Chain A
């Protein structure tokens, strides 16, 4: 199957300088939080911590060597991608080793090619795909919706993870069902819960929610719902309305 139905290939001229995959990158700031509690100004955060600012940083490109089998996997993958005439720095945004886990952040238009390489190359052989899991970062402009695809190689007893992202305005990621049929239901679930459209999926329909359900419940802008609880005369707000620590 073709790997980019609706995805525009980044034009060579207009695209900014591609980051070098091996160059160490600063941590990625996905969000900035203010205050200590969830007060929205009117109800008043009287704690005195209202001016706290905390930026949420996710790990960036890791410095080499990564240790363990990670370097070998990266070398093999980059070599195999080169053989397929796909420059690694074009396909792979960054390589993150965090908590002993290797994650390739792949540009979405190349996700299928990278997955196919990981599956087919004899030195890689990631036979098992363990699903697709979405995450929503509403404040991470340009990549609000992200997915994580864990892969397992039984042959070499290794794990890697693929991560891809898409903007909320263009929620399209190519489907992996052509490479790993196992992602069929997982992609339907991620569509159901996050509204990510997996292009090329044979039947992208809702799977957990009813067919006519409006909205995508796992997105951060989708309310939890719930009603206040009466407890011995006092009223306790619903879980999503309660004050929370940030």
Chain B
């Protein structure tokens, strides 16, 4: 138990005629961050990191001249069930009121952007898909669009590949929003919402597993197209899902939409208006909850989004409840888009014609997941020496990308996901940076929660829907 480090320091310094408070706060990393009230100089700041609340309360009340009403700084997380993974919240409280909150991130930093620089361009997909693990297809698409843009081959990506990309992205949006609602509900104590949300997400993951061989971390979208065509039966499975999902959504909506407890916890909580969103670069449902219909799929379409009919969902309350309603309605719009995708699926290639870019290894689903296509191996090993040379050269060397830098932004479920890719003309990325929406939007936690209750802080964080894999990369 590490109660009152600052207090102990203060006691040691008791004999010295120092200015009260100055010596104590100087040793506390967060004490100087800000103070509340006028009696700034005489306050004692407690930093609490674990321990028993009873002991803390006793210590507070037994100390001479101390009052339990003193502010305390609570270190919430990084291992805390309500902070969305490994997010650390340094919360300064007065009673149950949050006076100041700062985020500590980086606990899931895995150096993906650095690792990328040591693999070839196509292998980059395998890395970026692991950033925000609830939206793997969005990173893959953003990355591939950036690479295609650097290559100047956006126009050559086949139509069918684009439809499959949109299809997977919109299914992914459903899965991501379901996780958001599930975990957000769980953090408020709405465990049924959690059960429903994860159940529905599982339906989407089953589809992903059927199409890509993996539930997450697919690396399925490749520069030039997608790794392989939809397997037989996939369209039927998606149609089943399209029929089932609206019914399933009613479960969640009946549970939450007009639930007085749910509304009481979320309405007016985590308020952030349009000005705040603009200043902090907030995009996605948080921005649309202020009433601004900003959606890159509409304003700057990519992958053929201009050919789909869907509405940009907005809400006008700028609070957590509005963000929840937006997510639910966006799931409905995504279902609409998925349905249109199925109608647009015309037979054709799913990888770019240019054999210098198209990754030659055709993959196939085997009993143990996705692996080499036996047909392709027969071709290169038994039929064509040139195909073998070509395969070998492309797989070991990769393709060269002309020098330059591009930035591509797409609309992920959480906001604008940007990919800044720099090439030095080599076969490996020189630098790839992801502007992850969670990373940026987490900056709004302080402005959303300060002055509210601790319980509302949890709701505010959940309404941003940060995924630490994306935040820390």
Partners in one complex: yes
Contact residue among B111, B405, B406 (Cβ-Cβ distance under 8 Å from A135): B405
Say whether, besides A152-B409, A182-B280, A56 and B105 are in contact (CB < 8 Å).
no
Binary contact readout B142-155 vs A (1 if CB under 8 angstroms, 0 otherwise): 00000001101000
Contact residue among B398, B424, B439 (Cβ-Cβ distance under 8 Å from A56): B424
C-alpha gap A30/B299 in the complex (Å): 35
Shortest Cβ distance from residue B291 to the other chain A in the assembled complex, whole angstroms = 13
Contact residue among A184, A185, A218 (Cβ-Cβ distance under 8 Å from B114): A218
Shortest Cβ distance from residue A229 to the other chain B in the assembled complex, whole angstroms = 13
Shortest Cβ distance from residue B228 to the other chain A in the assembled complex, whole angstroms = 26
Quick check: A224 and B407 within 8 Å, CB to CB?
Answer: no
Which residues, 243 to 302 on B, are CB-close (under 8 Å) to A? 278-283, 292, 294, 299-300
Q: Does A101 contact B (CB under 8 A)?
A: yes
Say whether, besides A99-B149, A129-B281, A224-B115, A161 and B407 are in contact (CB < 8 Å).
yes
C-alpha gap A159/B299 in the complex (Å): 11
Which of chain B's residues have a CB closer than 8 A to the CB of A103? Answer: 405
Which residues, 394 to 438 on B, are CB-close (under 8 Å) to A? 397-398, 403-407, 409, 416, 418, 420, 422, 424-428, 430-431, 433, 435
CB-nearest residue of chain A to B420:
A133
C-alpha gap A186/B407 in the complex (Å): 15
CB-nearest residue of chain A to B397:
A245
Say whether, besides A135-B422, A224-B114, A239-B119, A157 and B281 are in contact (CB < 8 Å).
no
Say whether, besides A58-B403, A148-B405, A224-B114, A133 and B424 are in contact (CB < 8 Å).
no
Q: Does A195 contact B (CB under 8 A)?
A: no
Quick check: A181 and B280 within 8 Å, CB to CB?
Answer: yes
Quick check: B106 and A128 within 8 Å, CB to CB?
Answer: no
Say whether, besides A217-B111, A245-B427, A185 and B439 are in contact (CB < 8 Å).
yes
Q: Does A209 contact B (CB under 8 A)?
A: yes
Shortest Cβ distance from residue B54 to the other chain A in the assembled complex, whole angstroms = 32
- Chain B interface, number of residues (Cβ within 8 angstroms): 50
CB-nearest residue of chain B to A219:
B114
Quick check: B443 and A185 within 8 Å, CB to CB?
Answer: yes
Quick check: A209 and B435 within 8 Å, CB to CB?
Answer: no
Quick check: A128 and B281 within 8 Å, CB to CB?
Answer: yes
Which of chain B's residues have a CB closer than 8 A to the CB of A134? Answer: 433
Which of chain B's residues have a CB closer than 8 A to the CB of A206? Answer: 106
Quick check: B150 and A131 within 8 Å, CB to CB?
Answer: no
C-alpha gap A207/B280 in the complex (Å): 17
Which of chain B's residues have a CB closer than 8 A to the CB of A84? Answer: none
Which of chain B's residues have a CB closer than 8 A to the CB of A54? Answer: 425
Q: Does B379 contact A (CB under 8 A)?
A: no
Quick check: A208 and B105 within 8 Å, CB to CB?
Answer: yes
Contact count A vs B, C-beta below 8 Å: 124
C-alpha gap A33/B336 in the complex (Å): 51
C-alpha gap A34/B426 in the complex (Å): 12
Which of chain B's residues have a CB closer than 8 A to the CB of A181? Answer: 279-280, 443
Shortest Cβ distance from residue B178 to the other chain A in the assembled complex, whole angstroms = 27
Binary contact readout B333-344 vs A (1 if CB under 8 angstroms, 0 otherwise): 000000000000
Quick check: B115 and A148 within 8 Å, CB to CB?
Answer: no
Say whether, besides A98-B406, A99-B149, A209-B106, A150 and B420 are in contact (CB < 8 Å).
yes
Q: Does B118 contact A (CB under 8 A)?
A: yes
Quick check: A127 and B150 within 8 Å, CB to CB?
Answer: no
Quick check: B418 and A131 within 8 Å, CB to CB?
Answer: yes
Binary contact readout A150-169 vs B (1 if CB under 8 angstroms, 0 otherwise): 10101001010100000000
Q: How large is the interface on A (under 10, 10 to 19, 20 to 34, 35 or more residues)?
A: 35 or more
C-alpha gap A242/B300 in the complex (Å): 40
Q: Does A75 contact B (CB under 8 A)?
A: no
Q: Does A228 contact B (CB under 8 A)?
A: no
Quick check: A133 and B435 within 8 Å, CB to CB?
Answer: yes
C-alpha gap A128/B287 in the complex (Å): 12
Which of chain A's residues have a CB closer than 8 A to the CB of B428? Answer: 244
Which of chain B's residues have a CB closer than 8 A to the CB of A182? Answer: 279-282, 440, 443
C-alpha gap A207/B409 in the complex (Å): 23
Q: Does A246 contact B (CB under 8 A)?
A: yes
C-alpha gap A136/B280 in the complex (Å): 26
Q: Does A57 contact B (CB under 8 A)?
A: yes
Q: Which of B119, B294, B403 has the most CB of A within 10 A?
A: B403
Shortest Cβ distance from residue B458 to the other chain A in the assembled complex, whole angstroms = 21
Shortest Cβ distance from residue A60 to the other chain B in the assembled complex, whole angstroms = 11
Quick check: B420 and A185 within 8 Å, CB to CB?
Answer: no
Which of chain B's residues have a CB closer than 8 A to the CB of A98? Answer: 404-406
Q: Does A31 contact B (CB under 8 A)?
A: yes
CB-nearest residue of chain A to B102:
A203
Which of chain A's residues have a CB closer than 8 A to the CB of B418? Answer: 130-131, 150
C-alpha gap A193/B405 in the complex (Å): 19
CB-nearest residue of chain A to B146:
A99
C-alpha gap A56/B426 in the complex (Å): 9
C-alpha gap A245/B426 in the complex (Å): 7
Quick check: A130 and B435 within 8 Å, CB to CB?
Answer: yes
Q: Does A210 contact B (CB under 8 A)?
A: yes
Q: Does A63 contact B (CB under 8 A)?
A: no
Say whether, besides A98-B404, A135-B430, A148-B420, A207 and B105 are in contact (CB < 8 Å).
yes
CB-nearest residue of chain B to A203:
B33
CB-nearest residue of chain A to B425:
A56
Q: Does B109 contact A (CB under 8 A)?
A: yes
Quick check: A157 and B299 within 8 Å, CB to CB?
Answer: yes
Q: Does B472 contact A (CB under 8 A)?
A: yes
Shortest Cβ distance from residue B97 to the other chain A in the assembled complex, whole angstroms = 24
Say whether, besides A130-B435, A133-B433, A185-B440, A180 and B279 are in contact (CB < 8 Å).
yes
Q: Does A142 contact B (CB under 8 A)?
A: no
Which of chain B's residues have a CB closer than 8 A to the CB of A157? Answer: 299-300
Name the 4 nearest CB pairs between A and B, nearest first: A182-B281, A133-B433, A208-B106, A239-B118
- Given A130-B409, A185-B442, 13 more A-B residue pairs with CB atoms under 8 Å apart are A56-B425, A98-B404, A99-B150, A128-B278, A131-B281, A135-B422, A136-B431, A157-B299, A183-B281, A185-B439, A186-B435, A224-B118, A240-B118
Residues of B within 8 A of A (CB): 105-106, 109, 111, 113-115, 117-119, 149-150, 152, 278-283, 292, 294, 299-300, 397-398, 403-407, 409, 416, 418, 420, 422, 424-428, 430-431, 433, 435, 439-440, 442-443, 472-473
19 residue pairs bridging A and B, Cβ less than 8 Å apart: A31-B424, A128-B283, A130-B418, A133-B407, A133-B420, A133-B433, A133-B435, A150-B418, A150-B435, A159-B409, A181-B279, A182-B279, A182-B282, A186-B435, A207-B105, A217-B114, A218-B113, A239-B118, A244-B118
